[in-house]
Structure formats: C-alpha cells, structure tokens
Chain A
Amino acid sequence: MTLGWYLAVSAIIFCIGVGGVLVRRNPLVILLCLELMLNAGNLALVTFARMHGGEAGQIFALIVMVVAACEVTVGLGLIVAISRRNLPVDVDKLHELNG
C-alpha cells in the first residue's frame, strides 16, 4: 500500500470538512466539521512520519489533538452560553459583530 493513498484519503476528508463548514449553519455541526479537517491534517502528519521513519510527525499529531480538544472545549462553552441566553443557535443570525 503506497503512502499516496493515505494522503488522498486525507485530502478527501479535508475537503468534506471544508464543504461542511461552508454549508452548515449550526455551530455544533461546524465544530464537528472543524474536527474533520483537523483529523485529515493528523492523517497527513502521521503518513509523513511513516514516510520518513521518524516520530516527529506523530508528536505533531498528538499536539494537534490537544489543540483540537481545547478548541472544542471553548467552542462548546460558547454554544452553551449562546443557548443559555436564548439566542438562536445559528451562525447566520449571530451577526452582531458584523458591523
């Protein structure tokens, strides 16, 4: 199994995530799609680590997981705060900072 296949899967998953972020309006689902993109990046990093025979890429992937967990924590906190204030959970309607 050549490593190009793994990179192709990574690219496809990343593009699916991009499409989801652009199309979906629910911030929860947008966070899920961000996870998809980060995971595609992780897959590429682990593939490159395998390609070069060093673990640096795997370390990078683990750090990306940590950052993703932080992002999810803060994002879900924001969503909980939004729904507590009875604001619509919809990114098209939350445009107060839009000027």
Chain B
Amino acid sequence: MSEVLFFLAAIAAITGAIAVVTLKNPFYAVLALVCHLVALAALFLLLRAEFVAAAQVVVYAGAVMVLYIFVVAYVGETEEIASGNALRFVGPLFAVALAVELCIALLGSALAGINSQGAPYKRGFGTPEQIGRLFLTDYLFVFEVASLLLLVAAVGAVVLARRRRGLDDEGSLARLIAEPRPAYTGTIAEGAGVRKVLQALKDADGGVIELAFPEDLEKDPVPTVPESSDADGEQA
C-alpha cells in the first residue's frame, strides 16, 4: 500500500515540477506548483512528518501560492522571449549532468541508512506536540530568529512594492489625475490627493466634476492639469 502511494505521489510531484518549468503561462505554472506541493505533502505523510505535511499544505499551497496568483494577475501576461544565448542549451544539459552526479552519489555511497526502512517508529514522532516541544526547548533561538525574519520580510516587501510617487509638487498631482486608471483604486494618499484636486476644480468651476484627459497622453510624459469641463473623463 505504501509503495503504491509513494509512486503515485512521486510521479505527481515530478510531473508537477516538470510542468512548472515547461508551461509558458505563469498562471498555469503556479497551479502546477500547487499540485506539486500537495503531492510533496503526501510524501511527507508517508515519511511520518505529519506536522510538516500540514504546514506544507496550509502555508505553501494555501498562503504563498495565493500571493503568487495575485502577483501573476497584477503583472499580467508577459510574453516570454526565448533566450538566444547558449544558456538555453547549456541549462538543461547542466541539470541532467547534476542529476546523473546526484544519482551516482546516492547509488555509489553504499550508506547503510539510505537503503533501510529508517529508524523504528516511535509513538508521537512528528506530531505537533513533539515539534512544538522541540521548538520551545531545543530550538527556541531558531524559532525566535525565524519570527524576526518574517517580520523583516513583511516590512521589506511593503517598502519595496509601495508606490514611490509623492504628492508634493503640482506635476505629480497632474500625472496622477491624468493617469488612466479605474476610480477608487490606488493608495490612500493618492485618493486624498485626487479628492483634493477634485474639490479645487469644483470650487473653481461651480460644481462641474469632469476632468479632461489630454489626447496626447502617450506623447507627453507629464501632462498638465486639464482646465475645465470641456471634455469627458471617468475620474469621478
């Protein structure tokens, strides 16, 4: 029974990995990685690592892959240009050479542990209770450092991915207004800035809230603020 499960999970994992590498659409690649992660969780269960398997499914296949899906949807479809250099042919060759080398190392090592069934199963091996006890006793420092690392990564991601345009000068405001983007999207600062400008236009023009988009938006990188209600716009 465990042999059948192992081969099913192993074939699913390797197929998923190959699909991640070969599929052109990044969205499908992410979905293939989800399949790969679930198959790998089954392998972890066969190795009696129950908590690791659960964490794999919940954290990886749940949270991290959702993050990937969001970013793929944000970046959009990017046509992949095949790299014209020699790496396109040397890369797979190198991977195959590495696989051969690892297989030689595995088969030729003749380590007693590799071709065994593993240590005799203890009761409670790999359960959340055992893992938690180890995390809070022997590996407490590692645990704390990991939590600190997660905090640093979260702050770093926010700093990296934030929009760097300020609302200091008039030019940036004009750019923000002329930017063709759906209403009520963007950061809070931008929303406040747009609303400020809308209020100013309203005060100046007697209640008309229509903004003009310059026709030559592509040609002019920094368009100016449209004067009044002489054209249509969707920025409400």
The CA of A9 and the CA of B47, in the complex, are separated in Å by: 13
Contact A79 B119 (CB under 8 A): no
Report if B46 contacts A (CB, 8 A). yes
Report if A97 contacts B (CB, 8 A). no
Contact of B95 (CB < 8 Å), options: A16, A80, A81: A16
A4: nearest chain-B partner, CB-CB? B114
Q: How far is the CB of B205 from chain A (nearest CB, A)?
A: 32
Interface of A, secondary structure class, is helix
Interface string of A2-44 (1 = CB under 8 A from B): 1111111101111111111011111011011101100100110
Interface string of B30-55 (1 = CB under 8 A from A): 10010011001001101111011001
Q: How far is the CB of B38 from chain A (nearest CB, A)?
A: 11
Q: How far is the CB of A48 from chain B (nearest CB, A)?
A: 8
Q: How far is the CB of A87 from chain B (nearest CB, A)?
A: 11
- Chain A interfacial residues counted at CB < 8 A: 70
The CA of A25 and the CA of B81, in the complex, are separated in Å by: 7
Interface string of A42-66 (1 = CB under 8 A from B): 1100110111110110110111011
Residues of B within 8 A of A22 (CB): 87, 90-92, 94-95
Report if B184 contacts A (CB, 8 A). no
Residues of B within 8 A of A78 (CB): 160
Report if B204 contacts A (CB, 8 A). no
Report if B56 contacts A (CB, 8 A). yes
Contact A29 B26 (CB under 8 A): yes
The CA of A92 and the CA of B87, in the complex, are separated in Å by: 11
B117: nearest chain-A partner, CB-CB? A2
Given contact pairs A15-B98, A35-B33, A36-B33, a sample of 7 additional A-B residue pairs in the complex whose CB atoms are under 8 Å apart? A11-B99, A12-B99, A29-B21, A33-B21, A55-B126, A76-B67, A84-B161
